[in-house]
Structure 1
Amino acid sequence: MTHPAPTVAVLHAGTPPPSLDRIAAVADVREVTDDQLPDALPGTDVLFVWDFRSDAVARAWPATGGPRWVHAASAGVNHLLFPALVDSDTVLTNSRGVFDQPMAEYVLGTVLSFAKDLHTSVRLQDRKQWRHRETERIAGKSALVVGTGPIGRAIARQLTAAGMTVTGAGRRARTGDPDFGDVHRSDDLADHLDQIDYLVLAAPLTEQTTGLVDSTVLARCRPTARLINVGRGELVVTDDLITALREHRLAGAALDVFDTEPLPPDSPLWEMPDVLISPHMSGDTVGWTDELVELFLANLRDYADGAKLRNVVDKQRGYVSGSEH
């Protein structure tokens, strides 16, 4: 039996995804931008949110007859968890799996940069200054990874392979985890930081994780510890982090995500010598956009065939069903 081709609205900010013709081969494609979305959604079967930073979907969502399936070209879906979509029968999927290893490599890279003081070397080179220093080893250092989903697990394996001792923090405590050994409750994070060298944030943004790292948590960190955030900017109370860095109660921070993006030019974080800033790119390696399209295409073919979709998000929890965080 031949099924009619699904109608797919592709939301982008002016630059469509690569190989759009491959999507068009199995679907009726409508390219739309934020202002065109309200007219495109009624009667659309599938919404492919290529512009994952857009906040237009909530504003454009129809009162009735929304898409049956929404797919995000990102791992995080907090921007899509507005009440009308959460309460609807619409299936929400994400791009879990594309970013795991690249983000794990980014975290290892920032750990090495801190340990070997590479960021200082670059700044000294810019000023043509020769200044000998001693550096640190990473073997034997400890890391606590907040977020025990696929990205957190990839980070744990990468850091363990480099000789570090890794534990985790997630929704529930447990022992004997294959990647973390011990997993603590995220709610009890402050109680497990006194021996941690690197606090790594890789959790999704949910009601429970918003503002997780605040002055209370930072006060329990060792003054030699560093914070690495590849999760979401809102996991950290930025003003509390700035204060801890200024008062030397934290040795440094590597930040790939921020509560306001782009990071405003007047943010004190730009001027702090022990802060590494990257523009939300920890998972964006060469070929990543092609991988995102391949994942969507595989799901689209399953959708057209009536098969089960992969990476289905639990809309109440905010992440893919069956994965721990």
Structure 2
Amino acid sequence: MKYVMGTREWDSIVEALSGRGHQRVEDLADADFLVFNGVPGDFPESLPDNIRFVQLCLAGIDAFFDAGLIDDTRRWANASGVYGRPVAESAVALLLSALHMHVHVARERTFDSAPDVHEGTGWLFGATVAVIGAGGIGHDLIPMLTGFGCEVIAVNNSGRPVEGAAETVTAEHTDDVLRRADHVILAAPLTEATRGMINSRTLGLMKDTAVLINVGRGPLVVTDDLVTALEEGQIRAAGLDVTDPEPLPDDHPLWGMDNVVITPHTANTFRSMQRLMPDAVLANLDALEAGERMPTEVDPDRGY
């Protein structure tokens, strides 16, 4: 088949597709599918009818839905689960950094901070960690957490048992999970049901020793409510790779907090995306040509 690559050229994908006999062209009118690794603002104004399939290279595609770009006139796929391993590793890194007070020590820049660390350090081993949105990221995250001696509660929509988790529950039991968990990792997609799921009420359910990690989508958390909870000691700390708003303004209160670790939406980097995406594109094309559902096919009705 023929395809267009936009907006950045990723040699890894071009080489993988060429190896399967797919031909790159420049004009959408000549193509059968589009591989798109940009943002909604760069997306073509319209797609010709000959485009059967669009491969988006992001896992979180709520912005494409918000822009009205995704419909049922053709098939779409995202990168759900493709970047699970690097994002999972980043989630663990944020959690460990928050528990071990790295931001506090870095700002103090002295061994005189040792008494604070002796008093305030938390440990991951023996902890119960909730993974909310235990899909592709959870698949890679849970073995990492259990390797640290954690017990994991997985939360998903179906309630279907997640391998490695001590327990799997449906999203309707989230409140109970927040009460029980020592730490909480958000890895859920952004939908109407999940937007603002962490707010003043749900933060109030969590233990005051809990760390909240968000590697899902920024608007899963009501930011002002999180600031208040951290200031008032309702929870111990937070680790954020995604924020709302994003980018987080340089003068935002979260930047100044010793108990907050922030990375600039880099839990997965462009380098790892280029390394991991080709196999996913090929798997989707194999399924498409076989008349099957693609491994990362998007359901327009569900929003992910």
- Tell me whether the two structures share a fold, i.e. TM-score over 0.5: yes
- The aligned residue for residue 240 of structure 1 is 225
| C-alpha distance 21-282 of structure 1, shift in aligned 2 (>3 A) | closer
Q: Name the structure 2 match of 1:253.
A: 238
C-alpha distance in 1, partners of 2:129/2:54? 35
Structure 1: unaligned runs, 5 residues or longer: 32-39, 320-325
Return the alpha-carbon distance in structure 2 between the equivalents of residues 142 and 104 of structure 1: 17
Q: Which residue pairs with 1:122 in the alignment?
A: 106
| 1:81 match: secondary structure | helix
Rounded Cα–Cα distance in structure 2 between residues aligned with 1:217 and 1:96: 26
Alpha-carbon distance change, 123 to 207 in structure 1, aligned in 2, over 3 angstroms: same
Of residues 154-163 and 293-302 in structure 1, the stretch that sits farther from structure 2 once superposed is 293-302
Q: 1:178 to 1:54 in 2, by over 3 A?
A: same
CA distance in 2 between partners of 1:239 and 1:66 (Å) = 46
Q: Distance in 2 between matches of 1:66 and 1:201?
A: 38
How much has 1:288 moved relative to structure 2?
Answer: 3.5
Partner in structure 2 of residue 37 of structure 1: none
Does the CA contact (< 8 Å) of 1:55 and 1:79 recur in 2?
A: no
Equivalent in the alignment of 1:263 = 248
Instruction: Please report the RMSD computed on the Cα atoms of aligned residues, expressed in angstroms.
Output: 2.7
Per the alignment, in what secondary structure is the counterpart of residue 239 of structure 2?
strand
What residue in structure 2 maps to residue 29 of structure 1?
24
* Alignment match, 1:111: 95
Q: Is the 8 A contact 1:108 1:159 kept in 2?
A: yes
What TM-score results when the alignment is normalised by the length of structure 1?
Answer: 0.80
Q: Which residue of 2 aligns with 1:78?
A: 62
SS, match of residue 210 in structure 1: coil
> Are the counterparts in 2 of residues 197 and 222 from structure 1 also a CA contact under 8 Å?
yes
The residue type equivalent to 1:48 in the other structure is V
Report the AA paired with residue 295 of structure 1: A
Q: Provide TM-score, normalisation by structure 2.
A: 0.85
Aligned-pair CA distance for 1:180? 2.3
Secondary structure, aligned partner of 2:179:
coil
Whether 2:157 is the aligned partner of 1:162: answer: no
CA shift in 2, pair 1:315/1:21, >3 Å? closer
- Unaligned stretches of 5+ residues in structure 2: none
Q: Quote the residue 1:131 is aligned against.
A: 113
Q: Partner residue of 2:45? A: 60
| More helix per residue | 2
Superposition deviation, residue 28 in structure 1? 4.3
Partners of 1:166 and 1:235 in 2: CA distance: 20
Aligned-partner residue type, residue 63 of structure 2: H
Partners of 1:74 and 1:95 within 8 A in 2 = yes
What is the deviation of 1:200?
0.5
Give, in angstroms, the shift of residue 213 of structure 1: 0.9
In 2, the alpha carbon distance for the partners of 1:219 and 1:97 equals 30
1:47 aligned partner, one-letter code: L
Deviations along 1:203-235, one digit per CA (max 9) or x if unpaired, are 111121111111111111111111100001111
Is 1:197 the counterpart of 2:182 in the alignment? yes
> Could you tell me how far apart the structure 2 residues matched to 1:27 and 1:178 are?
36
Separation in 2, partners of 1:191, 1:276? 26
Retained in 2: the 8 A contact 1:17–1:293? no
Q: Which amino acid aligns with 1:247?
A: E
Residue by residue over 1:80-120, the C-alpha shift from the partner in whole angstroms, topping out at 9 and shown as x without a partner, is 33696554231111223431121222122222222322332
State the 1:165 CA deviation.
1.4
Give the letter for the 2:299 counterpart.
D
2:88 and 2:141 in contact (8 A); partners too: yes
CA apart distance, 1:307: 5.7
SS in structure 1 of the partner of residue 11 of structure 2: coil
- Identical columns (%): 31
- Report the secondary structure of 1:295's partner residue: helix
Give the deviation of 1:275 after TM superposition: 0.7
The residue number in structure 2 matching 1:226 is 211
DSSP 3-state at the match of 2:194: coil
* Residue 170 (structure 2) aligns with: 185
Separation in structure 1 between the aligned mates of residue 155 and residue 290 of structure 2, nearest angstrom: 37
- How far apart are the structure 2 equivalents of 1:284 and 1:130? 35
**Shift in Å, 1:185:** 3.1
Answer whether contact 2:134 2:162 (CA < 8 A) is retained.
Answer: no
The answer to whether the 8 A contact 2:94-2:240 is kept is no
**What per-residue deviation string (whole Å, max 9, x for no partner) do you get for residues 243-286 of structure 1?**
21122212111000123322221221111111111011112385
C-alpha separation between the residues in 2 aligned to 1:167 and 1:113? Answer: 21
